[in-house]
Amino acid sequence: MENFTTLEKPRLSFWQIWNMSFGFMGIQFGFALQNANVSRIFQTLNANIDDIPILWIAAPTTGLIVQPIIGYMSDRTWNRLGRRRPFFLVGAILASLALIAMPNSPALWVAAGMLWILDASINISMEPFRALVADMLPNQQRTLGFAVQTFFIGIGAVVASALPYLLDMAGVNNTAEAGKIPATVQWSFYLGAVAFLGAVSWTVLKTKEYPPEDFKKFYPKINEKKSVNGFSEVLNDFINMPKTMVQLAVVQFFSWFALFAMWIYSTQAVTSHIYRTNDPQSAAYNEGANWVGICFAAYSLFSAGYAFLLPELAKKIGRKKVHSICLVGGALGLASFYIIENPSLLLVSMLGIGLAWAGILTMPYSILSGALPAEKMGVYMGIFNFFIVIPQIVAAGILGFFANLFGGQTIYVILIGAVSMLIAALVVPLVKDIDEKGGENK
């Protein structure tokens, strides 16, 4: 029987990797608009500060359910569009419709429901993109493949996060009466819908996946009989996760707990701690909320710049050391929120957060992909998402308590995020990094 060690996948050109990753820019439009504006939408619709984390629980919960299912299904799909691309396209269409509907929510419960739909749709597109890199690239190119995805994530987030600010500068109304969402936010979501569908369609049209007969040559185990009970098979795969995946799960937990704290509470922390206002209808609040969008755009821009440096640095000092450095940078960036009085200086904080974001989007997947059985790449990438969404569910459940404990001073929740990011950095050295040939990448 042929095996992977004797039949290596061909190396792809940079532009082939570029095209197969381009759709992630659109996906990030959806995530960035969600991350930078959903708390603002909730507050505008009269949500209490300590209720916001529970309202946000939709995002991680849908990911927890959707991604393993989509991963399992995409491992077993082949039609005219290929193996992963059908899911890209269906998710993009649904997410674009949700982006159009979200800023027109007439009530808080509608906005919360739309967040469930939006996040589920984004996850349908996103999970197969991770598996596509592992499907198409030999191990030597996977760090580059995930880095190119990180670049597009950064570029998409830069533009999407800055849209309300840019539209405000262009004269679009940035304030609205009580219970109404500003036009800057509405038009940002409409433009995001167009970008999401357009970018994903580019990858669908420009990327050709390996047909089933090639996969059987690259991965002989794909020929083996599959379980007819999908749930039991996913459960069995979860129970028997590779050791590297279990170790990375701890790193992911603390990394994403920190990120979720930042995404939920940055707007409220910055507007109250730096702009000194808690009134969502005030000009100062909306100015501060727009500046948070610019800061999110900045860390995404910095992450795009770091993306192409990380693979080269990983070759010199190893992926684990690179990831630890990235996470320490993120911890310092979050901690600096507390001492900043001039909002412009938050851009300095974003240098560290952008470094962490680049590492989080690149290094765990590069390390993980070499430790996974190729015939289960999709389902394991979906299961790995558990360790992104579980910390977010935990955060959604407890951060409201801490916000209330600190008397609504949510800047302290940001500091909790900084501590969590530092813990993640300290755990990374315990991870065993193994490539597909069985050698350890120090």
pLDDT tens digits for range 333-377: 999 999 998 999 999 999 999 999 999 988 998 888 778 876 777
Pairwise pLDDT comparison (63 vs 167), residue with the higher score: 167
* C-alpha span between 404 and 26 (Å, rounded): 36
What is the distance between the alpha carbons of residues 423 and 285, in angstroms, rounded to a whole number? Answer: 32
Q: What is the DSSP string of 244-266?
A: HHHHHHHHHHHHHHHHHHHHHHH
| Helix/strand/coil for 440 | strand
Q: Do 353 and 334 touch, CB atoms closer than 8 A?
A: yes
Assess if residue 435 is contained within a domain.
no
Q: Is residue 150 part of a domain?
A: yes
Helix crossing, 346-369 with 243-273: angle to 10°? Answer: 170
Nearest CA-CA partner of 308 in 158, 136, 157, 143: 143
Is-contact 201 96, C-beta < 8 A?
no
User: pLDDT for 383-440, tens place per residue?
Assistant: 888 888 889 888 878 888 888 888 888 999 999 999 999 999 999 999 988 763 333 4
Please tell me the predicted confidence (pLDDT) of residue 437. 39
Whole-number pLDDT of residue 441: 44
pLDDT given at position 3 = 39
> Into how many domains does the chain fold?
1
Two tokens, residue 100: 């159009």
Residue appearing with tokens 């619709």: 45
- On average, the pLDDT of the chain sits at 84
88 lies in which domain range?
Answer: 14-430
Residue 258 placed within a domain: yes
pLDDT at 259 over 50: yes
Grouping H, G, I as helix, E, B as strand and the rest as coil, residue 279 is coil
Instruction: Tell me the pLDDT tens digit for each residue of 377-388.
Output: 777 887 888 888
Contact yes or no for 285/275 (Cβ under 8 A): yes
* Cα-based torsion angle of the residue sequence 13, 19, 25, 30 in order, rounded to the nearest 10 degrees: -140
Buried b (16+ CB within 10 A) or exposed e, 343-374: beebeebbbbbbbbbbbbbbbbbbbbbbbbeb
pLDDT class of 199 with cuts at 50, 70, 90: very high
SS3 label, residue 138: coil
Give the pLDDT confidence score for residue 2 in this predicted structure.
36
In angstroms, rounded to a whole number, what is the distance separating the alpha carbons of residues 203 and 81? 11
Please check whether residue 2 lies inside any domain of the structure.
no
Kindly report, residue by residue over 82-118, the tens digit of the pLDDT: 888 899 899 999 999 999 998 888 888 888 888 888 9
Q: φ and ψ at 177, to 5 degrees?
A: -65, 165
Greater model confidence, 119 or 178 = 119
CB burial of residue 139 (10 Å; 0-12, 13-18, 19+)? middle
* Tokens standing for residue 238: 């979860």
In a domain, 95, yes or no: yes
Asked if 115 contacts 31 with a C-beta cutoff of 8 angstroms, the reply is no
- CATH number where 283 lies: 1.20.1250.20
Residue 7, domain member (yes or no): no
Start-to-end Cα distance in the chain = 31
Q: How far is CA 198 from the centre of its chain?
A: 19
How high is the pLDDT of residue 223?
52
Number of other residues whose CB lies within 10 A of the CB of residue 60: 23
pLDDT digits (tens, 9 = 90+) for 262-289: 988 998 899 998 898 888 778 888 888 8
The residue type at 386: F
Residue 333 maps to a domain: yes
Q: What is the mean pLDDT of residues 189-202?
A: 94
Is position 334 within any domain? yes
Contact 307, 301 (CB under 8 A): no
